[in-house]
Amino acid sequence: MKFFRSHVLVSIDPQCLEMGAREIVDALNTELADWGLADEVQILETSRIGDPARFGPDLVVYPENVHYANLTVDDIPFLVEEHFLKGRVVEKFRAQETLIVDEELGAPKAKEVRVVLRNCGKIDPHNIEEYIAEDGYRALANVLTGMTPEEVIDEVMRSGLRGRGGAGFPAARKWQLCRQVPDNPKYLTCNADEGDPGAFMNRRVLESDPHSVIEGMIIAAYAIGASMGYIYCRAEYPIAVANLNIAIEQAREFGLLGENIFGTDFSFDLEVRMGAGAFVCGEETALIASIEGKRGEPRPRPPFPAVKGVWGKPTNNNNVETYAVVPQILLRGADWYASMGTEKSKGTKTFAIAGDVVHTGLIEVPFGLSLREVIFDVGGGIKDGKKFKAIQTGGPMGGCLVEEHLDLPLDYEALTAAGSMMGSGGLIIMDDETCMVDIARFFMEFTQEESCGKCTPCRVGTRRILDLLEKICNGKGTLADIDQLELLCDEVMKNSLCGLGQGAPNPVVSTLKHFREEYIAHVVDKKCPAKVCRALIRYEITPACTGCMVCARNCPVEAISGEKRQMHVIDDKTCIRCGICAQVCNFSSVAVLS
């Protein structure tokens, strides 16, 4: 067995790559080879070591556990000669701060349970052996050598696993439907398009633990009787694509993909397809069209992909996370999985928490935690001691939930009943300085832009809804516009071809429901209560002003005048409402009025 006296973990975080991490790896390899050290020191790439903003391109050397940070390619010859040849730690390259392990994920926060994310940051995603060390491919072995496809479907059915891509359809039911279609060959697709703004749950799994997705897909393929699979990964995730390709290649080398897996007569292979860049390509019929090389546009269902999918053949489509938990379910048993969560939502779910909370980022919690627990215990509460106002769940097609919903359990049924949805797991938390009309406008802007244009209700409807919202935010709206908005939302939801149009009005509908008075304030009083909409606010300097002139110097349009040590004045006609004066004032003397 090859023995390396030293291992070097090098961060290949996208930001580090931008700062030259690839060149550093290449230089390490060249320098080590030049000194004849290549077979003594092993270079391993890892998704992230320290926060790139603080540590820059960095690496850790084991067994010494020395963290070198902010490296450039020019540092490498000296580093290799000193550290690896002469055994001297190079103090000047050492990280100034102690490293907090895997900052993106960190140690599990209160109430977190990691199933999907269990390997993230712990194993080297470029090394299949590290996955195998964590019992990887063990479930596949058990399945192929000891279970019938029906038994696999049964076990997953009993676990209660539901699709993690949005709708929450029971995974095993979908597999069963596809299995029963008397047509061959059958295909498998993995939806790794993750288009929700701010969501990166799938990305983390794909980058840090690609084999769990691959193993889950092979098991699903066996259960369904599929012979070929496609992972449809968005092009904006180059590292995920690269790591998937490496993982697929390694799985093939090990005989875990390809012909006669585990010496059985089951054969299956996988390919990565890069996304076409549109949000709608995440919709499953559009995704299938895109895989076939056609325009990524949705088509009416039925027929469902289980009947007619890729190349017109029966196809099972699941989300990254759905597949990634399958090996764990088969390894640890349906009962174990079903012991977590609520009656109808079993297991755990990853979420990306964003917005005005103390701890933003990726979390994994059992279903059934209350929104309150997620926001205040896991998320650490609202930032800067402000008050909670609303939470948007389910991404851009989800809805806003408010104070009265905080004790709802986080599960599929409860969120839907409250007028929102689980979606893929984006949670955007908003404090009391958020304008809900502006938020609705923000989400509509996204969905309008992403509407593929195939069906009229969505193409024209989202545009009209956005126009109305912009009108209201600009202070030109009327009460009739609000009625019109409601009517339009209803029509677009009812008549659109796919989930995009059917869901796009949700942020408007839910904010209208919970914050109607804010809409009315915009159109009747011409006020933005949260003081966000530029057309409806103005800035005024109060007597607390010391005449320090900082605001006047920073105003980009020279709208502020006044003598030194005299109170300053803003010329409202010139002011563009950028808010810079309020930000730079050291005496909190700039007031925002509406």
Partner 1 sequence: MPTVKSLEDLKRIREEALKKREIKTNQSRVQIIVGMGTPGIAAGARDTLKEFLSFIEEKGLTDIAIRQTGSFGLDAMEPVVKVIIGDAAPVMYGKVTPYAARQIMELHVLRGKVVEANLIPTEAK
Ligand X SMILES: Cc1cc2nc3c(=O)[nH]c(=O)nc-3n(C[C@H](O)[C@H](O)[C@H](O)COP(=O)(O)O)c2cc1C
Place of tokens 């059985």: 264
Residue 282 is a binding residue for ligand X (CB under 6 A): yes
Among 14, 62, 526, 578, binds partner 1 (CB under 8 A): 62
CA 477 to chain centroid, in Å, comes to 35
Distances (CA, A) of 487 to 399, 444, 459, 464, 479: 17, 16, 16, 11, 13
Least distance from C-beta 194 to ligand X, angstroms? 5
527-559 per-residue burial string, b: 16 or more CB within 10 A, e: under 16: bbbbbbbbebbebebeeebebbbbbbeebeeeb
Nearer to ligand X among residue 207 and residue 284 (C-beta): 284
Q: Near partner 1 by CB under 8 A, which window of 57-65, 286-294, 460-468, 475-483?
A: 57-65
Cβ–Cβ under 8 Å, residues 360 and 383 = no
Q: Near ligand X by CB under 6 A, which window of 276-284, 367-375, 543-551, 582-590?
A: 276-284
Q: Near partner 1 by CB under 8 A, which window of 61-69, 360-368, 445-453, 472-480?
A: 61-69
**Most distant pair of Cα atoms in the chain: their distance:** 87
Residue with the closest Cβ to ligand X? 163
Cβ–Cβ under 8 Å, residues 60 and 49 = yes
Residue 318 binding target from partner 1, ligand X, none, CB below 5 to 8 Å by type: ligand X
Nearer to ligand X among residue 11 and residue 322 (C-beta): 322
With a CB cutoff of 8 Å and minimum separation 6, the contacts of 211 are 125, 128, 131, 136, 137, 247, 251
Residue 372 is a binding residue for partner 1 (CB under 8 A): no
Among 255, 277, 312, 453, binds partner 1 (CB under 8 A): 255
- Is 188 in a helix, a strand, or coil? strand
Nearer to ligand X among residue 35 and residue 304 (C-beta): 304
Strands (E), 220-307: 226-233, 269-274
Least distance from C-beta 209 to ligand X, angstroms? 17
Among 181, 217, 280, 422, binds ligand X (CB under 6 A): 280
CA 42 to chain centroid, in Å, comes to 32
Residue 392 binding target from partner 1, ligand X, none, CB below 5 to 8 Å by type: none
Residue 5 is a binding residue for partner 1 (CB under 8 A): yes
User: Count of residues binding partner 1 (CB under 8 A)?
Assistant: 33
Residue 3 is a binding residue for partner 1 (CB under 8 A): yes
Distances (CA, A) of 13 to 5, 51, 110, 234, 551: 25, 9, 26, 17, 39
Least distance from C-beta 215 to partner 1, angstroms? 11
Chain residues 167-206 in contact with ligand X, contact rule CB under 6 A: 167, 169, 191, 193-195
Q: Print the binding letters for residues 160-199 with partner 1: x by CB under 8 A, - otherwise.
A: ----------------------------------------
Q: What residues pair up with 270 in beta bridges, in sequence order?
A: 229
Residue 328 is a binding residue for partner 1 (CB under 8 A): no
Q: Print the binding letters for residues 308-327 with ligand X: x by CB under 6 A, - otherwise.
A: ---------xxx--x-----
Please report how the helices 171-180 and 149-159 are oriented relative to each other, as an axis angle in degrees rounded to 10. Answer: 150
Q: Print the binding letters for residues 113-132 with partner 1: x by CB under 8 A, - otherwise.
A: ----------------xx-x
Among 12, 205, 256, 428, binds partner 1 (CB under 8 A): 256
Residue 163 is a binding residue for ligand X (CB under 6 A): yes
Cβ–Cβ under 8 Å, residues 202 and 321 = yes
Residue 317 binding target from ligand X, partner 1, none, CB below 5 to 8 Å by type: ligand X
Q: Which amino acid is at 217?
A: M
Nearer to partner 1 among residue 332 and residue 383 (C-beta): 332
Residue 284 binding target from partner 1, ligand X, none, CB below 5 to 8 Å by type: ligand X
Residue 498 is a binding residue for ligand X (CB under 6 A): yes
Q: What residues pair up with 271 in beta bridges, in sequence order?
A: 230
Length of the chain in residues, anyone? 594
Burial-class residue 77 by CB neighbours within 10 Å (0-12, 13-18, 19+): middle
- Taking alpha carbons only, the member of 523, 570, 573 closest to residue 542 is 570
Residue 87 is a binding residue for partner 1 (CB under 8 A): yes
226-233 and 269-274 beta bridge pairing:
parallel
Strands (E), 326-459: 348-355, 361-366, 388-393, 399-402, 426-431
- Taking alpha carbons only, the member of 200, 203, 215, 219 closest to residue 247 is 215
5 secondary structure, DSSP code: S
Least distance from C-beta 326 to partner 1, angstroms? 17
Residue 212 is a binding residue for partner 1 (CB under 8 A): no
Least distance from C-beta 141 to partner 1, angstroms? 4
Residue 572 binding target from ligand X, partner 1, none, CB below 5 to 8 Å by type: none
Among 22, 54, 138, 386, binds partner 1 (CB under 8 A): 138
Q: In the complex, which residues of this chain contact partner 1 (CB under 8 A)?
A: 1-5, 7, 40, 62-65, 84-88, 129-130, 132-133, 135, 137-138, 141-142, 145, 250, 253-256, 262-263
List contacts with ligand X (CB under 6 A). Answer: 163-167, 169, 191, 193-195, 279-280, 282-284, 317-319, 322, 424, 498-500
